[in-house]
Structure 1
């Protein structure tokens, strides 16, 4: 599960400046009516900076809208379960040919509070009111979230859209939620986005060494946002 994420603007300042000047980003912003801030707290349907292969097969940064369109719902499909990505028609082609990485400072999750020396039963634990957490890769200021992408027709243009891959929770994340994004090490990015790579083998390398804390409420777009 991943319904919002955070990009600290100062950590990706140069990347954000570059991507905002792209013709594709400008066209998406105008035709979709979306902001090109691409930092602060991001939600489904927002435009985000995404790593994907360029025409030479190398890692490059692109603007993409968050969420696949599906006729059965008016909401963008922000997440895709990794267990069925190679089976369902909606995801299958992207699973094998169009994989991407969403670089974030952390992601947010609503989960169950954790207490030291917790003697509650599992039922009592699951009946506790959920709270919002920030979760990120241990020992790193960047969390690389694996995703799938494709192109969709919107407003008379081909718009690149992505969805976050999710898996069963591992490590300490299991204490607060039963799902988590597929998160990869920086060294696996190139291998993941290669169209001829083996996604199943790379998912086996997904990280579980996360750290979390209760979330702080930040402004939607932080005042230090860099827009130049």
Structure 2
């Protein structure tokens, strides 16, 4: 999975985050770009909604993917089915929830055709294609996640992981998993430190639309400055 953040749609947010001292320190000490728009992959810095010290929703720069000594790969996703029981995720599930606002997300899946008469085996043997998936009727897709702070390069770095669930709705046709997608009205409730993640999970959206992805090349418009 990867994410797409359209720079023009989130220009105000991106400008604000890039000016933060935390973002500047992360960029310098971790050697990471602060573009935070276009196509984003695990280990990139992204703009993330999380509670500030007063418990109110605010925007922060965070690195995508928890780290663990058992693997060199970033733990970019967390299964919602076990988030409240596994040691790695449990504390964040109850105390540190976040939301990643994206234009859409990408997933590799199996092409679907009109009047498809193939068997399931034939369908699964088809070469996978890259799809762009977003909330139906919205230009922004709110993806639920968990976050925590990790020690890297002498600083406490905020890291996030995306919650995934069993695919539902039309997404089931191309993939067996999907991110936990929130309605805009539930974003503030989700990130509340004392909120109930189980009740919000039950309200997750499944009305997604998708199409084969267009390969974008980074352009000057993605380098928005104040």
TM-score range, shorter chain: over 0.9
Give the structure 1 partner of residue 219 of structure 2: 222
| Distance in 2 of aligned mates of 1:81 and 1:29 | 29
- Map 1:1-228 → 2, pairs under 5 A: 3-219=1-217, 221-225=218-222, 226-228=224-226
Structure 2 length as normaliser, TM-score?
0.98
Shift in Å at residue 222 of structure 1? 3.2
| Distance in 2 of aligned mates of 1:83 and 1:16 | 32
- Segments of 5+ residues of structure 1 without an aligned counterpart are none
Shift in Å at residue 161 of structure 1? 0.2
Shift in Å at residue 223 of structure 1? 2.7
Q: Which runs of 4+ in 1 moved over 4 A?
A: none
| Distance in 2 of aligned mates of 1:105 and 1:31 | 28
Shift in Å at residue 49 of structure 1? 0.0
| Distance in 1 of aligned mates of 2:52 and 2:197 | 18
| Distance in 2 of aligned mates of 1:112 and 1:47 | 29
| Distance in 2 of aligned mates of 1:223 and 1:177 | 33
Shift in Å at residue 8 of structure 1? 0.2
| Distance in 2 of aligned mates of 1:222 and 1:171 | 34
RMSD: 0.6
Shift in Å at residue 55 of structure 1? 1.1
- Segments of 5+ residues of structure 2 without an aligned counterpart are none
